[in-house]
Amino acid sequence: MKAVRKSGALLGSAIALTMSAGAQAQQEEITYNSHVADIINENCVVCHREGGVGPMQFENYDQVRPWAPLISMKVANREMPPYAYDQHIGIQDLEGDWRLSQDEIDTVVAWVNQGSPMGDADIVVEQPSFPAPDDWTFASMFGQPDKKKRKKK
């Protein structure tokens, strides 16, 4: 009988702990305007913009929201931003490294799991500044190219 009481008390404690952790997680709502926009703007918009190489635009919440589940999957699997090197072998401190940190990945995934809320509409998300899509992105590092080949439209 004592074992049953101890099991019941343990089960009750576990349920209470789980419920309080769930309530705490719900209080810490992750929103696009407060948490995710900066991650998207710093890592995705360089390709996912008007005239960019990405197949869709991610320049604002209305453009990002329909793609949120796919973004979550691609980010969690480290497929986006595109990675061409191993995460655990060799030199990891790379110049111009555009890999997302684990915290950034966790933030995007949690945002999607919470229903991808926009957040406070009064928060103004600063838009990133990039050269025009047809400009040579690495001019500051390598100078202007000798030749340019235009993509077919």
For the full predicted model, state whether its pTM sits above 0.75. no
d(CA 23, CA 79): 32
Which residues have CB under 8 Å from 24's CB, separation 6+?
none
Which has the higher per-residue pLDDT, 33 or 129? Answer: 33
Three-state secondary structure call for residue 63: helix
| Stretch 137-141: mean pLDDT | 78
What per-residue confidence (pLDDT) applies to 102?
93
d(CA 149, CA 18): 59
| Stretch 64-76: mean pLDDT | 97
